[in-house]
Amino acid sequence: MTDKSKKVPSSRISRLAHLGGLAGKVASNVVISGARQVLSGQAVTKKELLLQPKNIHAVADKLAHLRGAAMKLGQLLSMDSGDLLPKELALLLEKLRADAQPMPHKQLIGLLKLNWGSNWLDKFSHFELRSFARASIGQVHEATTESGQKLALKIQYPGVANSIDSDVDNVAMLIKISGLMPKQVAIDPLIAEAKQQLLVETDYLIEGDRLQAFKAGLQPYAQFKVPEYFPQYSTGHILAMEFVSGQSLDSQVHALPAVRNKIASDLIQLFFIEMFELGAIQSDPNLANYLYDETQEQIVLLDFGASRCIRRELAVGYWLLLKAGLEHDRDMMTTAVQSIGYFGEQIEDDYRDIVLDLFFMATEPLRAEQPYDFAKSDIAQRIRDMGMALSSREGQWHTPPVDALFIHRKLAGLYLIAARLNAKVGVRELFSGFEKPDCLGL
């Protein structure tokens, strides 16, 4: 078996050099391909040359090698509805969702010594050096303590925290120069938020606190399992939690309909619990962030790094928005959307009407008399088409508050999971169990 591990560049200079090398490779591809097409008499544009498949693959591979902020920014950009982005950028983002390459063992052991000291192995009866999961800022290893407790250890890649500003700025510049982002999408607020979000996500002690808070908040709901946190083995760059067995949600696509329907229903109910009871959401509905325990009929929640607190005013705005969608109340919907911050001060009536139509479309599952069949619905296609029409209105596009983007990312991701599971969900019944939020928990 070929070892695909690559040392993660940890210094700012080395990371910048990697991006500089990437720019040179892309430029070389552009010149060579441009010359070939010109000599053959073909008309060609700069954008077509930049967006060659080999350039897209080169960018994605380099960001995956750098991990950290470089990779995370690409993922964050996709939350403003990937359907509004060019197919080339969507392809790049899709590649970035795949597992990053693992760290070499020598680099891993150096990190363990740095965090736990030279006698780090004395803490364990077994430590598996091969990671079983990898993501944008860390990889996960299985270990067993001297007392027999099995742990899942998330270990952060080196240099991630110290390179956030430079990585994000460099990748943002690359995306801007490429012309991949539509002009109407305001990227600067997303760049600032990417930096802030990453600063929080790279502090695993904060994630440990959040894990404990979600575990306490979800205690009344037996359908969810939150692993135990082990602070004695955790540091700012290592998160130690209980190792929990389970099956991937992808593996449940062939389960019995009742199982698939329950998983999707529980996940959508969890969104309502987070928004209207806990006042905090885990904003990354990635399939890899969940497991399913068939024996206990529980969904295991694995990752709280991307969790965000939700202001009471915003939660109330979304409760009103969903209530308006359920009752098809246009006046209430207008009030809700304004309170969330979707309308600028100078809003034209026709633009406002299109935005409202878009939200009424998105809340269609709430109005279904029977459990909503996500697999047979073309709601994603219709939302995409209307969103594309909206984003093309020159001078009228209004980028919503960043928190709203994270909320939409979560809900859109859950819709996609429900469709992936071929599930039918009684969304109306789930929402009816939640009253207008008064005070929020976490």
Higher pLDDT residue, 433 or 100?
Answer: 433
Residue 280 has pLDDT above 90, yes or no: yes
Q: CA-CA distance, 240 to 245, in Å (whole number)?
A: 15
Check if the beta carbon of residue 215 is closer than 8 Å to that of residue 300: no
Average pLDDT of the residues in 408-416 = 86
Q: Where are the beta strands (DSSP E) in 188-323?
A: 224-225, 238-242, 247-248, 280-282, 290-293, 298-301, 307-309
Residue 403 CB: number of other CB atoms within 10 A? Answer: 18
Per annotation, catalytic residue among 80, 167, 266, 284: 284
Q: CA-CA distance, 425 to 410, in Å (whole number)?
A: 17
The confidence band for 166, taking pLDDT boundaries of 50, 70 and 90, is confident
- Residue length, the chain? 442
| pTM (predicted TM-score) | 0.80
How do residues 16-70 score in pLDDT, each as one tens digit? Answer: 454 444 444 444 444 444 444 444 444 444 444 444 555 555 555 555 554 555 5
Whole-angstrom Cα Rg for the chain: 23
Q: CA-CA distance, 346 to 324, in Å (whole number)?
A: 24
Give alpha helix (H) positions in 2-67.
12-39, 46-50, 53-66
Q: CA-CA distance, 363 to 268, in Å (whole number)?
A: 13
Largest CA distance in the chain: 72
Domains of the chain: 12-98+163-179 (no CATH), 104-156+203-243 (3.30.200.20), 245-442 (no CATH)
Phi/psi class of residue 364: alpha, beta or left (left: φ > 0; alpha: ψ in -120 to 50)? alpha
Average pLDDT of the residues in 355-360 = 89
- Whether 284 sits among the annotated catalytic residues: the reply is yes
Q: What percentage of residues in the chain have a pLDDT greater than 90? A: 47
Instruction: Please state whether beta strands 138-145 and 133-134 pair in parallel, antiparallel, or not at all (unpaired).
Output: antiparallel
Higher pLDDT residue, 281 or 71?
Answer: 281
How do residues 98-107 score in pLDDT, each as one tens digit? Answer: 545 678 899 9
